[in-house]
């Protein structure tokens, strides 16, 4: 087995610990970006499912069903290649040179689109869980449509959606590891590089797993605090 001095040599002197931590920051950035994008898409799709015209509802149902039935890895490969290809075709049509897609933005877009399908279902359920009387009361006060959404619908929905959304964040952090397959250097890619160049596969993949585990542990704690805060307004049973 590997000795302690070897470990310090690998992680501190050779700088791999630093590299891993930088990778972790990139992973968090990708996940945060994709989470926000996924929430936006989810909110839009949930609204469409609840109130939209029928053809749009069908389209929304198709999106949430298909994107939840196909493996994320396949979707990431598909969206990543198709996305860059479409962009380059568009650029060619406009008479411009082809561009290399920014890996970070591509990763956020791809993960965000996949996440949107899941968060749409969670948000739809949460909106439906709001007691109808609250919305009716708001309307009786003559509140405008958009203000109703902003002041009543969204804040009332949040406690119902919290558990699902916090779970989704954890899924997202773990799914972001799949981005390493298309080669953007987040946490797992850095771990791969480290493992490949030092030949200490077990050590570095365990280290990567430990960093992911710390991220999920800390997020779990943060969500628990946040959830307690939100639940102040929920009726006590």
| 124 part of the interface to another protein, by CB under 8 A | no
- What track of x and - describes contact with another protein for positions 194 through 223 (by CB under 8 A)? -x---x-xxx-xx-xx--xx--xx------
For residues 55 and 43, what is the distance between their CA atoms, to the nearest angstrom? Answer: 18
> Does residue 136 interact with another protein by CB under 8 A?
no
3: exposed, middle or buried (C-beta count within 10 Å: 0-12, 13-18, 19+)?
exposed
Closest distance of CB 6 from another protein, Å: 15
213 or 233: CB nearest another protein: 213
The window from 40-48, 81-89, 139-147, 229-237 that contacts another protein (CB under 8 A) reads 81-89
| Residue 119 vs 176, nearer CB to another protein | 176
Binding site for another protein (CB under 8 A): 66, 68-75, 77-78, 81-82, 85, 170, 173-178, 180-181, 188, 191-192, 195, 199, 201-203, 205-206, 208-209, 212-213, 216-217
């Amino acid at each position: 087995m590997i000795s302690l001095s070897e470990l310090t040599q690998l992680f501190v002197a050779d700088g791999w610990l630093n590299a891993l931590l930088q990778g972790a920051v990139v992973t968090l950035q990708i996940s945060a970006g994709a989470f926000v994008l996924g929430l936006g898409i989810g909110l839009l799709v949930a609204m469409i499912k609840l109130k939209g015209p029928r053809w749009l509802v069908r389209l929304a149902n198709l999106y949430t069903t298909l994107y939840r039935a196909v493996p994320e890895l396949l979707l990431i490969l598909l969206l990543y290649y198709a996305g860059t290809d479409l962009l380059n075709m568009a650029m060619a049509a406009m008479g411009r040179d082809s561009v290399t897609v920014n890996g970070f933005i591509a990763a956020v877009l791809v993960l965000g689109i996949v996440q949107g399908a899941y968060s749409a279902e969670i948000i739809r359920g949460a909106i439906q869980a709001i007691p109808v009387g609250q919305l009716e009361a708001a309307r009786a006060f003559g509140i405008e449509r958009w203000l109703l959404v902003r002041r009543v619908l969204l804040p009332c929905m949040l406690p119902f959606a919290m558990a699902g959304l916090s779970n989704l964040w954890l899924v997202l952090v773990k799914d972001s590891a799949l981005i390493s397959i298309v080669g953007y250097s987040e946490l797992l890619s850095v771990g791969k590089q480290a493992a490949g160049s030092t030949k200490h596969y077990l050590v570095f993949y365990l280290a990567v797993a430990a960093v992911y585990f710390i991220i999920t542990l800390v997020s779990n704690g943060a969500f628990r605090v946040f959830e307690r805060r939100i639940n102040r307004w929920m009726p006590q049973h």
